[in-house]
Structure 1
């Protein structure tokens, strides 16, 4: 055999050996994640995980799709058109009651973001007796029974909230439901001084911006779920440290969301410690506890929103967050 052929063989064998050492190139697992509304700062951690390549680091090819008023996330999840959705504890518990096999695998926020906006003279939620309370129809099956039971508000106080702030602006006796970065921001832009009270800071138990999937996915693809959860929580930590990358994708999906609105949202999330407060301060971001879920279950039962015999522990699992220990 000639020297040139021997050298060629050595080169080929060396290349093969290197390829074997490198191992096969793993295909990225394709994942579709559906948010609950139009892209905004409150979804930033998921967009950040895409923008900064955090999902890819964990072998995931994630597409974030926006929700909206005409999008039924739970329906799309159960139909297999989404692998994970941004969920809400009360919705998941109600679905489990109906026999829909969904479950919550992590939470972005230790606090639900729902609250009340008042004029600046109001000092606490206990001061609302005699005030007109504007609440959307969905409030009657979520936070309204809780505040009525806690503070003694009456049905006579409640009027429909039509997502128009003019009635609030026109009457200092009116208070209304709000999210920290939405209605208060609009009030600020209109020169109206307001106070905002987060229900979670008064004991309202649901988590906020949770990650929900099918029970079948947990059983059959626990590794994929674990990677998605870890990458998403890392995305949130990264976003709240520097949201620049995630914001670009948010504005791409939702051009109506401008820099000032996003910055206000990020500021409020930090001030309210929705990501790093509560149990997350000690147990790590993304954490959920049995005690907290039991609180939500008991609230729903007491309010007539859930049957007592509902297998409420199927609505969540802590297996993907109990040892996550990502410092907020």
Structure 2
């Protein structure tokens, strides 16, 4: 397969640099090792230490990283990786800013917001291509179409997760009563809200497990309304990429290799996920983690979000049998602009960071 290595140079901010400096920079960029070379196993070379911070606690959402670690893919590419435990007390953007982690995962919307606020984050690999954030209502509440949400009590998470719902409400001229939503869907199940926020790979399955049939629910997938927000991506600081682009490239390669291996060996991947879940004493089970794993694959391997959403309406959906996209890991500029423009319209950011500076893709496609 074709290997893609893309490292864009930023415009220097020092007016005193001479033309010769630009020539030297161009020459160095031309001789950066290609991903083909970087993919070779590293022998007789000291391992480079690195730290990854996922944006949440151990679960199948991060299966590819755990698999890559367990199978030795990072070490094979010269990285001695530590995976820290994420969660609300350890936001990935904060640990990156403080130098406590080299790499982190986060939503595209979060990263754009942080970049616009001055934190020089760069996306070096986009994983989730289709938005999984959704709204769910019980049909018994009389909600069947967007206009039916007008005047309803809607459960909303924190600011990061409100961007799409609020844009959805603006688009359909809806006035709702926002209700703060906790980590569970218990308030919705007990009738405390008419509509709840949910992730397709997580809370939606919890609602089904609570005994509610899919036919009893009205689901609003944002992709259906031209509001697809790609979610999990791999990020580092711009300074990290400039200091050691080879390390960043190797990290992305090993991570994508881990995801591909996980997709090809789902039960082994779930074994690895559950070992991390058990170590962290997370209250979940293998059935729920399998659902999450299958849905993560759907969201990551296909750019046909319509097909993904269509499968999402089937409670019994299993993994979509499509091969991993040959450009798995890339951030589409159209998706970037869509998210950034919604952030600006919502007043979350004052300006839109340049895509060419934000996305410094280091992607290598591996043979399946």
Residues 234, 202 of structure 1: alpha-carbon distance in 2 compared, 3 angstrom cutoff: farther
1:174 lines up with 2:174 in the alignment: no
Which of these two proteins has the greater Rg computed from alpha carbons?
Answer: 1
* Residue aligning to 2:89: 70
Alpha-carbon deviations, 1:276-322, whole Å to 9, x = none? 111797652111122221221111111211113x434366224313x
Aligned residues of 2:163 and 2:342 also touching (Cα < 8 A): no
Distance in 2, Cα, partners of 1:312 & 1:274: 25
For the residues of structure 1 that align with 2:112 and 2:358, how far apart are their CA atoms?
Answer: 9
Q: Flag the 1:281–1:250 CA change in 2: closer, same or farther, 3 A.
A: closer
Separation of aligned partners in 2, 1:66 and 1:162: 20
Change in Cα spacing, 1:281 to 1:197, as seen in structure 2 (3 Å) is farther
3-state SS of paired residue (2:89): coil
Q: Structure 1 80/190 Cα, relative in aligned 2: closer, same or farther at 3 Å? A: same
Q: Distance in 2 between matches of 1:158 and 1:50?
A: 41
Residue 47 of structure 2 corresponds to 28
1:121-270 aligned within 5 A: 123=144, 125=146, 127-138=148-159, 142-154=163-175, 156-171=176-191, 174-194=194-214, 195=217, 196-255=219-278, 256=282, 257-270=284-297
Aligned residues: 300
Contact map agreement 1:51 1:246 (CA 8 A) in 2 = no
2:132 touches 2:201 (CA, 8 Å); kept in 1?
no
TM-score, normalization by structure 1: 0.81
**Distance change >3 Å, CA 262–CA 161, structure 1 → 2:** same
Are 2:349 and 1:303 equivalent residues in the alignment? no
Structure 2 residue runs without a partner (length 5+): 1-41, 305-322
Indicate how the Cα distance of structure 1 residues 58 and 127 shifts in structure 2: closer, same or farther if over 3 A, else same: farther
- Partners in 2 of 1:102 and 1:163 — Cα distance? 27
Equivalent of 2:104, from 81, 85, 89? 85
TM-score (norm 2): 0.73
SS at match of 1:254: helix
Q: C-alpha displacement at 1:269, in angstroms?
A: 2.9
Q: Deviations over 1:57-88 (max 9, x none)?
A: 22222222221121122121111110101122
> How far apart in 2 are the matches of 1:327 and 1:296?
31
SS where residue 177 of structure 1 aligns? strand
Q: Flag the 1:125–1:84 CA change in 2: closer, same or farther, 3 A.
A: farther
Deviations 1:202-246 (A, max 9, x none): 333432211010101111211111111111112112212223343
